Copies of this chain bind each other. A is one copy, B any other.
Amino acid sequence: MGATQGRRPPVMADVAKEAGVSHQTVSRVLNEHPNVRSETRARVMEAIDKLGYRRNLVARALVTKHSRTLGVVSFDTTLYGPASTVYGIEQAARGAGYFVSIVSLKSIDKIGVSDALDYLADQGVDGIVVVAPQRSAAQALGELPFGVPTVAVEGGEAGDVSVVCVDQVRGGRMATEHLLSLGHETVWHIRGPSDWLEAEGRVAGWRAALEQAGRTAPEPLAGDWSPRSGYEAGRSLASMKGVTAVFVANDQMALGVLRAFTEQGVRVPDQVSVVGFDDIPESEFFSPPLTTIRQDFGAVGRHSIEVLLRQIEGQGSHACERLVVPPSLVSRASTARR
């Protein structure tokens, strides 16, 4: 409590003198070394309290070579997906007693993933989580700095690095099968940007489901995740004949699609059914409420930390793990039987 600091903050030696022991004993108390008499321990604790001592983690890191800090590299943390993942990561890391240092990349080119990794490695992080949803980002994981343990989130089939991801293919398949099961002849798709692995996976799942049902897949429409791109694709679809079901690669674009349909007088789900992806908090209140594929971003974040810590702590024989989180269908009012 009473931090009677005489100018500079107290150091271990000050505590030692106050308690009448050596600084090493103080260190032992702090590190919960077993061989300390409980009476001594009490005396030291008292001195710590009296002086308001706090151990200098930088000095500690210098000698132990462990900073208890993890680095996180992510894209645009303004988006719901990355933001939620990073949040999950941060919570899990702090729960495990680690600090989290974040680098948000504006775009993939602005400062490369490698630069971000270097930057974090310089700082002496014990491990790194890379939220690498883009192919080019995943590739940068090849040339990792020194021996810093690393985990990729949504990192695709990266070679020798552990990966935690949501099963995008399965998600795409679920969305499509849901629509087919409602009696739709075929399902159109508005996809995400081609560099994104998630976009690829969803396309693959969509295509697989259609093929399996013996339907031909129409040409997917291009989108960039933004509501606006969904809006534009939606206008195109509205002007076409025979469109009764659309699987949109994320909820934001689906919002744009709904908007376009509303403007064009296309009624959802009476005339066209729409399925999104992500289950952002808003989608339950779209007009109509959106049927979507939910991704458990929090779980992804937590798992990535688990895998990373396993790699850091049980170093040496760490096989490269691959953890896949299943998505789930959330059925709402934007889909209906044909």
A89-144 residues at the B interface, CB under 8 angstroms: 90-91, 94, 99-104, 106, 118-119, 121-124
Q: How many copies does the complex hold?
A: 2
Which residues in B have their C-beta under 8 angstroms from that of A319? none
Which residues in B have their C-beta under 8 angstroms from that of A282? 227, 252, 255, 282
Q: With contacts A90-B103, A101-B100, A231-B285 known, is A121 near B80, CB below 8 A?
A: no
A266-299 residues at the B interface, CB under 8 angstroms: 281-282, 284-287, 289
From B9, B77, B226, B256, give the contact of A83 (CB < 8 A).
B77
B67 touches A58 (CB 8 A): yes
B287 touches A122 (CB 8 A): no
Which residues in B have their C-beta under 8 angstroms from that of A22? none
B86 touches A77 (CB 8 A): yes
Which residues in B have their C-beta under 8 angstroms from that of A230? 285
Taken residue by residue from 53 to 91, chain A's Cβ proximity to chain B (1 for < 8 Å, 0 otherwise) reads as 011111101100001010000001110100110110011
Cβ of A259 within 8 Å of any chain B Cβ, yes or no, is yes
A100 touches B102 (CB 8 A): yes
B227 touches A121 (CB 8 A): no
A78 touches B77 (CB 8 A): no
B285 touches A287 (CB 8 A): no
DSSP majority for the A interface?
A: helix
From B78, B87, B101, B228, give the contact of A285 (CB < 8 A).
B228
Taken residue by residue from 220 to 253, chain A's Cβ proximity to chain B (1 for < 8 Å, 0 otherwise) reads as 0000001110110000000000000000000010
Taken together as a complex, chains A and B put the C-alpha atoms of A61 and B5 apart, in Å, by 22
Which residues in B have their C-beta under 8 angstroms from that of A122? 54-55, 57
> Which residue of the partner chain B has the closest CB to A297?
B78
From B55, B91, B118, B259, give the contact of A286 (CB < 8 A).
B259
Which 3 residue pairs spanning A and B have beta carbons closest together? A227-B285, A259-B285, A83-B83
> Can you list 20 residue pairs at the A/B interface with Cβ under 8 Å?
A9-B146, A54-B121, A56-B124, A58-B67, A58-B123, A59-B62, A62-B62, A69-B123, A77-B77, A77-B87, A78-B83, A83-B83, A87-B104, A90-B104, A100-B101, A102-B102, A227-B281, A255-B282, A259-B285, A262-B287
> Given contacts A101-B101, A259-B289, could you give 10 more A-B pairs where the C-beta distance is less than 8 Å?
A57-B122, A78-B83, A78-B84, A99-B119, A100-B102, A227-B281, A252-B282, A255-B286, A258-B287, A259-B285
